[in-house]
Amino acid sequence: MTATPPTALDRQRPRALRVLLVTAAYNHILDGVALTLNRLVEYLLRHGVEVLVFAPVGPVAAIAHHGELVEAPSIAAPGRPEYRACLGLTAGLRRRWAEFAPDIVHIAVPDLLGFQAQRHALRLGIPVVASYHTRYETYLDHYRLGFLERPLVAYFDWFYRRCRQLHVPSASMIDALRARNLTGDIRLWTRGVDAERYAPSRRSDDWRRRQGFAPDEIVVAFVGRLVREKRLDTLISMFEALARRGVAVRPLLVGDGPERAAVARALPGARLVGFLAGDELATAYASADIFVFPSDTETFGNVTLEAMASGLPTVCADATGSRSLVIEAATGHLVDPDRPDLFADRVAALAQDAALRRRLGAAGRARAVAMSWDAAMAPILAGYRELAP
């Protein structure tokens, strides 16, 4: 069958913007990076942008992904099989790249694949943008690898200086990068929340009863992967301190990971429900009474924003990410992540004062509803268009 030749009108019509997204997490793991990038691709497709994604694929998809995904060859990460280690920009990926002919290359993770994709794009004269999702250097101390921090940070800074734009999720993270003397075009690309799904109206007495919570129990929720870098040490110590003080609260942990068994042993009274998503996750948030998140490795903290939208007072680490969301004593509290005793102080005060919980929770909800996903995504598309030929 002979292809129809383009008409004069077709030749005059501008070609759609084409973006190649290169990432180490897209559909094989349910985490904040993958969820955010899928939100981005869905937004771009709705706005007429053509998107191709290079990312590793696991044995079982954790997310029904958006857009066209090309599998990047990978292996299970040593010691952390839930993650995938990419093997680089293979000949097959280069061929698909050439066929797609991107206008912009967006790199989300500066791993081997990200490094080789950046180098290839620069050789071709294609603008490269990056987004900053994870403070990998802060993970190292939790795995006795602190000696690698300086060379890792040096590599990251070198990588980001070679990008035309760096999109960062919080003002506090921009401050941290500037403090490292990272110059260049660093832009705020915040996150959003579905305030209709994550809402106080999702609270369910039936759900609480099925989880074994009594109607008058104060449920303190943590949502996130059960990994050391989420500061599970502080979380466990906080609950132990509350128990010693006789403050009656029940821990609710939503998420899974390699530290699940250790957490279950340390907190025998906790309810561990594993990964939840969609409406079930929204119900879990709203059915709790207080949200605690001691992680100091976040660049934003999607779960904190979801908890705020659900009407919960929040007690979070005084660190990047949370500092841009939680307003001290107005929507919740910011606490030194190395001070579980102070976390316990804040949670105890909230547990014993229902009016305070309602006031801070309502203020957090009001702050969260102003942060829509579409409003969050618009600046990154504008940044692409500034660089497009």
Residue range 33-67, pLDDT digits in tens: 898 999 999 999 999 999 999 999 988 888 889 99
- On whether both 263 and 174 belong to a single domain, the answer is no
- On whether both 211 and 173 belong to a single domain, the answer is no
Domain that holds residue 123: 15-193+373-384
Q: Tokens 């097959």 — which residue?
A: 92
- On whether both 145 and 221 belong to a single domain, the answer is no
CA distances, 146 to each of 111, 137, 176, 177 (Å): 19, 8, 19, 19
Q: Residues 177-196: what's their mean pLDDT?
A: 92
pLDDT at 32: 81
For every residue of 95-108, DSSP letters joined together read HHHHHH--SEEEES
pLDDT at 68: 97
β-partners of residue 52 are: 20, 68
**In this predicted model, which residue has the larger pLDDT, 2 or 15?**
15
- On whether both 286 and 231 belong to a single domain, the answer is yes
- On whether both 185 and 305 belong to a single domain, the answer is no
> Is the pLDDT confidence value at 284 over 50?
yes
pLDDT at 137: 67
In a domain, 3, yes or no: no
- On whether both 177 and 218 belong to a single domain, the answer is no
> Is the pLDDT confidence value at 2 over 50?
no
- On whether both 126 and 87 belong to a single domain, the answer is yes
Q: Tokens 């500034």 — which residue?
A: 386
In a domain, 144, yes or no: yes
Q: What gap in Å lies between CA 342 and CA 275, rounded to an integer?
A: 28
Domain count, the chain: 2
User: Torsion angle, CA of 219/225/228/234, rounded to 10 degrees?
Assistant: -20
- On whether both 173 and 229 belong to a single domain, the answer is no
Evaluate whether 169 touches 191 at the Cβ level (below 8 Å).
Answer: yes
pLDDT at 56: 94
* pTM reported for the whole predicted model: 0.81
In a domain, 284, yes or no: yes
Token pair for 50? 């053509």
- On whether both 138 and 285 belong to a single domain, the answer is no
Q: What gap in Å lies between CA 185 and CA 160, rounded to an integer?
A: 10
> Is the pLDDT confidence value at 1 over 50?
no
In a domain, 297, yes or no: yes
In a domain, 9, yes or no: no
Percent of the chain with pLDDT over 90: 77
- On whether both 96 and 183 belong to a single domain, the answer is yes
Buried b (16+ CB within 10 A) or exposed e, 179-204: eeebeeebbebbbbbebebbbeebbe
CATH number of residue 64's parent domain = 3.40.50.2000
Using the Cα atoms of residue 82, residue 88, residue 89 and residue 92 in order, give the sign of their dihedral: negative
Average pLDDT of the chain is: 92
- On whether both 154 and 259 belong to a single domain, the answer is no
Q: What gap in Å lies between CA 176 and CA 137, rounded to an integer?
A: 13
In a domain, 7, yes or no: no
Token pair for 145? 């690898």
Helix, strand, coil percentages (3-state) for the chain, rounded to 5, are 45, 20, 35
pLDDT band at residue 3 under the 50/70/90 scheme: very low
Residues 131-172 pLDDT 10s:
998 776 666 666 677 777 888 889 999 999 999 999 998 888
Q: Residues 86-115: what's their mean pLDDT?
A: 97
Residues 210-252 pLDDT 10s:
999 999 999 999 999 999 999 999 999 999 999 999 999 999 9
In a domain, 1, yes or no: no
pLDDT at 5: 57
- On whether both 256 and 212 belong to a single domain, the answer is yes
Q: What gap in Å lies between CA 124 and CA 103, rounded to an integer?
A: 11
pLDDT band at residue 4 under the 50/70/90 scheme: low
Evaluate whether 368 touches 350 at the Cβ level (below 8 Å).
Answer: no
In a domain, 209, yes or no: yes
pLDDT band at residue 261 under the 50/70/90 scheme: very high
